A and B are shown apart, each in its own frame.
Chain A
Amino acid sequence: MISGKLKILLIEDELSDYKLISHQINKIVEEPILVHVNTYTEFTSELKKFVPEVILCDYRLSGFNGMDVLNYTMENAPGTYLVFVTGTVNDEEIAANTILNGASGYILKKHMPVLHKKLLPHFEEIIKRRNKGKTSSDQREMFDTVQNFIENAMKENNLHIESYLQIKKSLAQLKGMKKDA
């Protein structure tokens, strides 16, 4: 069982499956912070905004698929824990490909009645990583903070440079005025 909070991004376009998955999550996580999306645009936006610790993703979605999600995540939020929860039964090739490409797990929807039991080891692994050090979501938040700091510092530097150039220009003007006098 997972005490405390866990940030979960759930990508699922079937409302009934979303309800059931969220019910199963509630069984094992004390305070799940669950964001549900069903389009690719919502996914990319929430990945940046919400910064999940784990992504649970259906494989076959309308307009995009699990591999799109996996590739985008690997590129933009590497290290984020990603588990496919899918009805794509017995497709060993898809399962193997997703794992080889960096997915953390693959659960078939036929196991839905015991989904919470299948998810628990993954969630425990995330907590273990969280306790060992920083999770990828923490790292990305830190990265964003440092990046913002650098950008602000650069803006301030630019302001200083502008002020310096302004002073230099004024001095040159003064110098010119002195010479004329």
Chain B
Amino acid sequence: MKSNNYVLLVEDNPNDIFLMRRVFDIDLLEYSVIVFDKAHQAIAFLNERKNNNHLPNLVLLDIKLLAGNGFDVLEHIKNDAILKKIPTVMMSSSDRQDDKQKASDLGCDAYFEKLRTYVSLKQQLPMIIDSWAIDYENDFR
């Protein structure tokens, strides 16, 4: 049974969404996953959840999105006094140093190049979630 914990995935590639959902359904049973493929939708959702006091335990961001990009979402999160405590991890197919630098400058907690196979995703995604997800009931921050 799923708890109230959830991860917000901001991603526009249907294949990546499918594979990530599969890992969540099989290996990360304690988390639900909510997906948006446009930056403004993700931002609106976060603002609404901020008002309802039900923030995601982690945000996973791709850079390229259908509308806007992951940096827009990251910037919104890290400039908001309440949202900024949400750990935010970028997973992108871009290995450009300037993208990594920009993510770091905007306050991104971690940056990973996209995992290319399902096997590596199955191994790494749970580690990333376990390392970075915040536990609102037990963690100080």
Please give the residue numbers on chain A whose beta carbons come within 8 Å of chain B beta carbons, in ascending order.
Answer: 1, 15-16, 19-20, 23-24, 26-30, 112-115
Contacts and interface: CB of A to CB of B under 8 A. Distances in A.
A91 B85 CA distance: 36
B140 A20 contact: no
Contacts of A20: 109-110, 131-132
A92 to B, nearest CB: 24
B109 A23 contact: yes
Given A20-B132, A112-B131, A26 B141 contact: yes
A22 to B, nearest CB: 10
B140 A26 contact: yes
Contacts of A23: 87, 109, 131-132
A20 B87 CA distance: 10
B102 to A, nearest CB: 14
Nearest to A3: B140
A31 B78 CA distance: 20
Contacts of B87: 23
Contacts of B140: 1, 26-30
Interface in B44-80: none
B4 interface: no
Given A26-B141, A27-B141, A28-B140, A16 B131 contact: no
Contacts of B131: 20, 23-24, 112-113, 115
Q: Name the prevailing secondary structure of the A interface residues.
A: helix
A114 B130 contact: yes
Q: Which 7 A-B pairs have the closest CB atoms?
A: A113-B130, A27-B139, A26-B141, A113-B131, A30-B140, A113-B127, A112-B131
Contacts of B141: 26-27
Interface string B103-126: 010000111000000000000000
Contacts of B25: none
9 contacts: A20-B131, A23-B131, A24-B131, A26-B140, A27-B138, A27-B139, A27-B140, A29-B140, A113-B130
A70 to B, nearest CB: 27
A112 B127 CA distance: 9
B69 to A, nearest CB: 22
A112 B129 CA distance: 11
Given A16-B110, A27-B135, A113-B127, 13 more contacts: A19-B109, A19-B110, A20-B109, A20-B132, A23-B87, A27-B139, A27-B141, A28-B139, A29-B140, A112-B127, A113-B130, A114-B130, A115-B131
Given A20-B132, A23-B87, A112-B131, A15 B139 contact: no
B135 A16 contact: no
A113 B111 CA distance: 16
Nearest to B87: A23
Nearest to B129: A113
B139 A26 contact: yes
Nearest to B139: A27
